[in-house]
Amino acid sequence: MARKTKAQRNQEWEDRERRVWDVFRPKLEAVQNFADALKLAAQTPPPNAPGRRYYSNLAFFLGSFGVPGGSSYAEKALYLQLIARLDATGILKAGARPKIESDLRQAMEAQGPSS
């Protein structure tokens, strides 16, 4: 059996990452409150597993409401939607939402939608 090339291994990794994203995204879209968001973040795969970064980024976001480094444009867009839902539950301090949204939007503008 021939060894796989680096390009083949990278493609397989990207395919696994995409499959995890395809599962993670609708779960995050369905989150309606902070407790559910924490439960989702707690499902973090083990280190070096495909998709771990999505869960780690969510955990970071929930811990600080800051923009996670390395998060994709699509993740940030989901965090914008999530913060609106969390604000509706009263979990955020008064006036916190505009600052969080502004930070996310600025990071998205700097990144561009293809990332």
Taking only the tens place, the pLDDT of each residue in 14-61 is 999 999 999 999 999 999 999 999 999 999 999 999 999 999 999 999
Backbone angles phi, psi at 84, to 5 degrees: -65, -40
Kindly report the CA angle at 47 between 46 and 50, in degrees rounded to 5? 80
Question: Which of 67, 68, 96 minimizes the C-alpha distance to 84?
Answer: 96
In degrees to the nearest 10, what's the CA dihedral of 98, 99, 100, 101?
A: 50
pLDDT of residue 62: 97
pLDDT of residue 73: 96
pLDDT of residue 3: 87
pLDDT of residue 16: 93
Q: Is the pLDDT of residue 110 over 90?
A: yes
Backbone angles phi, psi at 49, to 5 degrees: -90, 145
Q: Is the pLDDT of residue 115 over 70?
A: no
CB 65 within 8 A of CB 57: no
Provide the percentage of residues in the chain whose pLDDT is more than 70: 97
pLDDT of residue 33: 96
Give long-range contacts, CB 8 A cutoff, 24+ apart: 36-45: 37/62, 37/82, 37/86, 38/62, 45/20
